Every structure is written in structure tokens, then in C-alpha cells.
Amino acid sequence: MYRPAPGQALIQRGPLLRRDTIGTFESRLRWKSRLRWLVPAGVLALAALAAAAWLYLSNHKSPEAEQLQTEGLALLALDDAASLDAAAQRLDEANRVARRGRPAVADRALAQVLRAATLAEESETLSARASARSAERDRLRRDMPPGWEAAEKAAASEVDALGADARARAEKARALREEALAALTPLEGAPGATGAQVPRALACYHALGGDPALVRRYVDAARAAAPDDAWAGLAEATLELRSKERASRERGAAALAAIAARHPEVLRARYLLARTQADLGRRAEALATLDGVLAANPHHEGAISLRAELSRPPSAPAPRPGAAPTPAPAAGPVASPTASPAAGAAAGPDAGGAANAAPPTEGNGAALPRKPVAQPVIVSPSGPPAPAVKVPPPPTSAGAPRAAPPHRALTPAAAPVPAPRPVAPPPPPPPPAPEVDGG
């Protein structure tokens, strides 16, 4: 038997497989044991390579795709209907060119959410106009002024048209929101979704729906990726604007003013700021903000409509149909109720005749009976009585008399001049004494 020398290492070798049936069976057993860990390791390696390739291709964009996405975001900031539709088209093209442009898909969903917001605002405006016209129609039916049938028919047709248009815009806004949510749901939590595009789009979506918890959740996620993201701040400020408390709306206006100062290109923040200022009664500030929006984008439909509404002067209340117009004051001086007869005589015969022709009236316009004026009789001491001298009554007005308002007391009329008593004629002289003839 072979024995190694002292100090020589012992060489151990594995068992040699025999080249027979038993050796073949042992070889197969060894390969099966190796395949138990080689196959899973190979599958994991292929999966890792595929994931790395997918991440590389999804994050790698062509210069053309980047240019299209930049243009789409610039159009998105203009906030009018045509610009939002053009932004969605540019972002679609960027997604097609990049093939796996995840940020382009999220930004396109954001464009759809903003377009849905503008349609919802237009629907609310049309509904308010329809309500005003409906109230006008009810008033026409109630008062029935002359020609009310034609006016009521026109108002009814306008109410129907406005209501149909408002419902169509609301339905389109709902469809756009659902399409945006369907595009954003697969992107949430997907590998490689580390930017602010997906959470800010979801924050704006839930802000339009009015869910505070989800809005704050996605706003925090967007700010973790981009601390000063304008769209995330806009979604957060929208929650304050939906509150009925004035303090909350004041905070929302302050947040919008800060966003507009840091990101003046985002016209959505400035337009919402103008609406909030007008709602809070700051008309001058709202007009100044709208002027800035229209200077940046003269085609902004919401700013044009809101500025026209704020620039319109307040209309005077229309008189109720069928009401009697207020009588105009009579021309000419009005005589004082304490005027003297001498003043009436000095006014001339025309004034006296006008005063005699128009009797005084009560508060309800009924004529008062005129009291007869006694005419003085002057007796001449040396002959037959002289003809009576007519003294005109005191004049009340140079023009037509006016009826006193019902709530005002009747002005006391001037007392008639008392007639002088007739003067008794002196006694006739005594007859002369007969002459006595002295002869």
C-alpha cells in the first residue's frame, strides 16, 4: 500500500466514476443537482438585464422628444383652450417618438385635467346665466307686462340652450378626467417613476374632485422630487379656494400670489388669483391681475370673460312693468301757503286766473270744495251803492297744482280774507226851517 513520505501533502481526489451503468447514473444525478441552482440563477440574471434595458430605454429620450415635451409644457402654461389642446397633441407626439416617454404621458394627463377644469368653469358660468334667465322668465309670467308672451318665449328658449350647453361641457370635462386617471393609474408606483410628473398630475386631478387627503398625499410626493413645483402648489391652493370661509380663501389667494411671483409663466395661478380677488371684493386688484394675464396671453377666454364682467358698470334696477311713472315737478315758482292777497294781486290777473281755475286737492288727488269768498259792498255816503269790487283769492301756484304725496300731510290753505262790514249811511240832513216873513 502506498504511503506518502513524511512532510509530503496528502493529495485527495474525488471518486472516479466508472464507465458502466452505475457510473452513468451517478453522473446524471450530479447534473440534476447542479441544474437546481443554475436555472433560477440564469432566470434572475435575464430578468435583471431586461429591467436594466427597460429603464435605460424609458429614461433615454431623443432630442426630438425632449423638444416636443418642452413645447408641450410651454403651451400648457398658457391655460387657454386652444393651447391646452395643442399641448396634448405635442405630448402625444413626444410619447410616440420616445416610445416609452413616461413623463410625457403624465404631462399629457395633466393637460387633460386642466382642460377639464376650464370646461367645468365654463359649465358653471353657463348654469348661472341660465338661472338668471329662468328667474327673468318667471318674473314675466308673474307680472305679465305688455308683450310678455314673446319675451317669455325667448327667455325660455335661451334657458334651454344655456342648460344644454352647460350639460355638454360638464360631460366633456368628466370624460377628460376619467381618461386622465386611466393614464395615470398604471404609472403610479411603477419602476423608475421617481420624478414629479405623475404625483403632480394626480394632485391636480384630486384637487378638481375635492379630495383633501389625496391632494396632500400627492403634493408631498411631488415636492419630494421637486420642492418648488408650481403645479403641486396650485393643487394645494385650490383646496383653500373651495372653502366657504373667508380666511381660507385669503390664504389661498396669498399662496396663488406667491406662485405667480415665482412662476409668472403659469397663467393658471394668476387667473385663479384674479377670480379669488373678485370674489373677495377686491375689484381693482382683480382687474390689474387680469390685465397681466391678457398681456401674456390675449386669447385666454376665462380672463376675457371675467374682465368684461368686472368692467361692466352696475345696472340700475329696472322699474316694474305697469307701475305709474313718477310725475315731474311743475314748472314755475310755487306760491307759499301764507301768501297775502296783495302778493296775489301783484302777480297779475293771469296768476289769479290760474289759481281760481285749479282747485286745491287732498293727499289722494281728490279736489276740495272751494269756499265762496264774500265780496265787500261799499256804500257811498252821498249816492246809490257803488258796484262791488272783486278781490281775487290768494294764489297757490303760478302753474298747475301738484297733488301732495299720500304720506305727507295736507298743507293748510290760506284763510280767506274777511269781508268788511257795510258802512251805515249818515243820517240825512234836517230839512231847512221855513222862513218867516217879517212883514
Predicted pLDDT at 27? 74
What's the chain's Rg over C-alpha atoms? 51
Cell triple for residue 368? 276740495
Tell me: the pLDDT tens digits for 90-132? Answer: 998 888 887 555 568 889 999 999 999 999 999 998 999 999 9
Predicted pLDDT at 377? 44
Distance of CA 254 to the CA centre of its chain: 19
Tell me: the pLDDT tens digits for 406-436? Answer: 444 434 444 455 555 555 556 666 666 555 4
Predicted pLDDT at 434? 53
**Distance, CA of 400 to CA of 82 (rounded, Å):** 67
Predicted pLDDT at 126? 92
The end-to-end CA distance of the chain, in Å, is 240
Intervals of CATH 1.25.40 along the chain: 243-311
The CATH code of the domain at 243-311 is: 1.25.40
Predicted pLDDT at 343? 38
**Distance, CA of 269 to CA of 401 (rounded, Å):** 64
Tell me: the pLDDT tens digits for 276-312? Answer: 999 999 999 999 999 999 999 999 999 999 999 998 8
Angle between helices 102-143 and 81-98 (to 10 degrees): 160
Position with higher pLDDT, 210 vs 68: 68
φ/ψ of 124, rounded to 5, equals: -65, -40
Q: Which among 103, 108, 100, 97 has a CA at the least distance from the CA of 63?
A: 97
Over 341-405, what HEC string results? HHHHHHCCHHHHHHHHHCCCECCCCCECCCCCCCCCCCCCCCCCCCCCCCCCCCCCECCCCCCCC
Helix (H) / strand (E) element for 413: namely none
Q: Residue 198: how many CA atoms within 13 Å on its side-chain side?
A: 17
Predicted pLDDT at 187? 85
